[in-house]
Structure 1
Amino acid sequence: MGSRRRLTTAQLVERADALAARGGRAILGVTGPPGSGKSTLARAVADALGPGRAAVAGMDGFHLSNDVLVSLGRRERKGAIDTFDDAGYTTLIERLAAQAPGDGVVYAPVFRREIEEPIAAGVGVRATTPLVVTEGNYLLARAGAWPRARARMAEVWYLDPPQDLRLERLVRRHAAFGKSPEAARAWALGTDQANAELIARTRGDADLIVDWR
């Protein structure tokens, strides 16, 4: 924990590499508000370390499906904390933390933005991979099953870029996946911003708070 630090990709990769070198399985969490760069950094770390040393198994694969969200009356709040299967995600993290040499592949779901739905068994993690990077909004949430998942993570990094940059990324992303510019901005300033304010309250629980761009 501590103050916000400006770090480069190379510096963060070096820190992740040290986790991978500890022996056994380490799980690195990357969290922060929507648009903070979580998935981009997780992939950059995994690519830098290589497929034999790091894999990514994110939280977004545990989005509830659109059909389930409609049945619960939550479709217009997709991305809020109660639109995820926190118990399912926690079970995955516990399985990954316990995975040891000789164990079979653990498969994790992924989220496909082009269809706005989770896909089962989208990525496989081998027992010989020393570092698993997991990213998502609610890794530091203090209620539900989330704290059990956090307890199995060696470190959690909180990404905290400037607000205007974060919002610009969000609007651009929503527009790229089909929203009109007006709808993209409304979602970023509405549903996304409400989630960001909830996530920001967990900032102080991170091992590292970083302005990474």
Structure 2
Amino acid sequence: MFTGIVQGTGVLVSVDEKPNFRTHVVKMPPELLPNLALGASVAHNGCCLTVTEVNGDLVSFDLIKETLRLTNLGDLNVGDVVNLERAASFNDEIGGHLMSGHIICTAEIAKIQTSENNRQVWFRMPHAEYMKYILHKGYIGIDGISLTVGEVTTSRFCVHLIPETLERTTLGSKRLGDKINIEIDPQTQAIVDTVERVLASREAAMAAAQALAEQP
């Protein structure tokens, strides 16, 4: 599990591309290296990846077909920067919200509004069905960053970014059209899906009762 508080950024130093598979190597910041071992989980732009090799501050990770399909990690090139977070420990402060590192899709940056000390960024979701999980003032993971949802429309939503977030993460360098990893809040998803199932079951029962009552 992760908290959505980005602990640092890392530079992609090499990529080994294979069919439906790639291994990339990230230069990790010193503060994220202590006790980092094979098999450890590290979120890259919010996507949970497993350490496969540690060589000083150069750490390798494997990306399979599903990861490449659902996230923006397959679009990265040498020199690109990723948001990093080590897996949370039981005694860690939950400064953001609990996140699993499972990306549901990528969203496109549709609009950026900048004012003094503030930035509002709008994201366009690829499928309208995902919008039912994105609620005003709810939580969402944006490239691994725990953020609060601002305004919501039928296909888009926005977040408000403070200077600290823009400076400490990759969001400060993002531009229109860039693809961003999206993780919806799992608790919100569970509640919405449960309510939908209950309502569907109730409607089915009412329809069955009505059909039975109409029989001669």
TM range (shorter): under 0.3
Query: Quick one: higher RCO (CA 8 Å, sep 6+), 1 or 2?
Result: 1
TM-score by structure 1 length?
Answer: 0.24
Which structure has more strand as a fraction of its residues? Answer: 2
Which structure has more helix as a fraction of its residues? Answer: 1
